[in-house]
């Protein structure tokens, strides 16, 4: 079987040559950058805000033991059932159990990357239930039977034309280029689904320990309908979503919106604290919160990279990443793509299987600069590389670097190799750009500068 690394390379090789894809993504993300910069400028001090957000997340993550219990206790006090899932299988079983117990048939969902992480939709569909994504982007990729392309913009790789074609094919609608009309087509389908669904399943943006509340932020009102209409509500979230205090939202909601989409604030911001209470007229009859570990605690145990749990899934690092911009979201083959995905996937799914993502980076650091909670992303890629090479070195590379060290540390050897290289390069044109070329990785697409007749060192010696 082809390795994951080879699969990544093959797909990257194809998509980087796809100029239409390149144009769509570059244009969309340049537009995002423009809007984001304007909104960032409205902050009195964006850097201070990042610092503060990082400190709050640091506190939350370093005291997860305390805050998670506080969060769960407060929720349960209002009649919420809190479930703890160590892994994906447990989380899927918990959700399936709730659905079966309620004899439910259909589930409406708002956006939840954790559900992608544990492949919940597939499990529910396999068990015979209907699952409908209500976020417009998610609805579109679900119709295409695709994973989300991006953690915030699931369908950013598609044009209006692509979506119109898809709707015409899958929903029988008339072709249109108007975003409003396309939205209305989806809405007509979805409104019916909210009403008939037995269960509403959401993700969460933040988990407030102080008050035992789930914070959900969205632009379409679909999460509100998902939470409000069905009789049973389930929220699936990773344990790292903790924020200690309610007032922390005053910082995190605008930062998430700014970094994520460039909005000053996302349109709909809701807090959910439990099922319908006595005397209340609306809200679900039952509320379940499923807290997912799925190897997050292993990342927590890594003192060097623990801050990766600060991630608020804003997608800012994906948006600025030149690798993401060129290979796109699907090439990664992971739930979380871009720099944050390259950092955490080896922790969540195995270092040796996923180390190639940490190597597939120029270490430019744009991600770290963009991260609103100051995760040291590109340095974590370096640490993953170190850990991977230490755990399972490539003999070829190890010997190569030893030989390199031997030569480079000995001026006479270095001089000899230079002269040999200078002579041998005269033969290079014969093989340049072919498979026989030792520099094929470079010369397939680029010219290689020749070794100079007189190197700097030779110049320096000749002068004295």
Residues in touch with another protein (CB under 8 A): 9, 12-13, 16-17, 22, 26, 30, 322-323, 325-327, 359-366, 368-369, 382, 385-390, 393, 397-398, 401-402, 404-405, 408-409, 411, 414, 418, 421, 439, 441-442, 444-452, 454-461
Smallest separation, CB 404 to another protein (Å): 7
Smallest separation, CB 316 to another protein (Å): 15
Nearest residue (CB) to another protein, 30 versus 169: 30
Residue 399 C-alpha from the chain's centroid: 35
Smallest separation, CB 170 to another protein (Å): 32
d(CA 387, CA 282): 52
Any idea what DSSP says for residue 330? G
Smallest separation, CB 450 to another protein (Å): 7
Cα end-to-end distance, the chain, whole Å:
60
Nearest residue (CB) to another protein, 253 versus 366: 366
In this structure, the number of other CB atoms found within 10 A of the CB of residue 398 comes to: 11
Contacts for 165 with CB less than 8 Å, ≥ 6 apart: 175
Nearest residue (CB) to another protein, 161 versus 421: 421
373 touches 356 (CB < 8 A): no
Smallest separation, CB 314 to another protein (Å): 19
Smallest separation, CB 398 to another protein (Å): 6
- With residue 238 as reference, give the H or E element that holds it: strand 232-238
Of 206, 219, 220, 218, nearest to 251 by C-alpha is: 206
Encode 267-301: b = buried (16+ Cβ within 10 Å), e = exposed.
eeebebbbbbeeeeeebbebbbbbbbbbbbeebbe
Nearest residue (CB) to another protein, 151 versus 366: 366
Nearest residue (CB) to another protein, 66 versus 446: 446
Cross-strand partners of 106: 130
Nearest residue (CB) to another protein, 183 versus 459: 459
């Amino acid at each position: 079987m082809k390795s994951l690394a080879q699969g990544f390379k093959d797909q990257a090789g194809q998509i980087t040559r796809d100029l239409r894809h390149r144009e769509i993504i570059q244009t969309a993300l340049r537009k995002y950058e423009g809007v984001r910069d304007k909104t960032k400028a409205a902050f009195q001090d964006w850097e201070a805000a990042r610092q503060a957000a990082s400190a709050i997340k640091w506190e939350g993550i370093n005291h997860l033991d305390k805050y998670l219990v506080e969060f769960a206790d407060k929720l349960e006090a209002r009649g919420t059932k809190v479930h703890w899932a160590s892994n994906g299988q447990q989380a899927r079983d918990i959700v399936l159990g709730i659905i079966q117990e309620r004899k439910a048939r259909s589930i409406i969902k708002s956006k939840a990357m954790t559900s992608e992480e544990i492949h919940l939709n597939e499990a529910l569909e396999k068990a015979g239930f209907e699952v409908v994504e209500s976020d417009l982007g998610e609805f579109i990729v679900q119709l295409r039977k695709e994973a989300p392309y991006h953690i915030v913009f699931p369908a950013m790789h598609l044009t209006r034309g692509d979506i119109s074609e898809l709707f015409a094919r899958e929903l029988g609608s008339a072709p249109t280029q108007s975003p409003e009309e396309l939205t209305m087509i989806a809405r007509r389908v979805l409104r019916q689904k909210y009403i008939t669904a037995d269960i509403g399943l959401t993700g969460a943006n933040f988990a407030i320990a102080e008050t035992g509340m789930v914070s959900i932020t969205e632009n379409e009102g679909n999460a509100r309908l998902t939470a409000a209409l069905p009789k049973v509500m389930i929220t699936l979230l990773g344990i790292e979503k903790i924020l200690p205090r309610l007032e922390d939202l005053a910082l995190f909601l605008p930062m998430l919106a700014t970094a994520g989409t460039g909005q000053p604030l996302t349109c709909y911001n809701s807090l959910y604290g439990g099922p319908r209470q006595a005397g209340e007229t609306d809200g679900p009859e039952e509320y379940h919160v499923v807290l997912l570990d799925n190897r997050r605690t292993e990342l927590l145990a890594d003192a060097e990279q623990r801050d990766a749990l600060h991630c608020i899934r804003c997608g800012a690092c994906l948006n600025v990443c030149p690798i993401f911009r060129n290979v796109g979201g699907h090439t990664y083959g992971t739930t979380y793509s871009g720099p944050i995905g390259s950092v955490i996937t080896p922790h969540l799914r195995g270092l040796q299987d996923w180390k190639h993502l940490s190597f597939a980076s120029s270490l430019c650091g744009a991600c770290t600069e963009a991260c609103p909670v100051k995760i040291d992303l590109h340095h974590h890629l370096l640490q993953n590389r170190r850990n991977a090479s230490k755990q399972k070195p490539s003999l070829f590379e190890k010997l190569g670097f030893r030989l390199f060290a031997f030569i480079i540390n000995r001026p006479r050897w270095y001089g000899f190799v230079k002269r040999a290289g200078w002579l041998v390069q005269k033969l290079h044109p014969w093989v340049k750009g072919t498979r026989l070329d030792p520099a094929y990785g470079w010369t397939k697409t680029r010219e290689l500068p020749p070794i100079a007749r007189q190197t700097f060192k030779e110049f320096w010696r000749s002068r004295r």
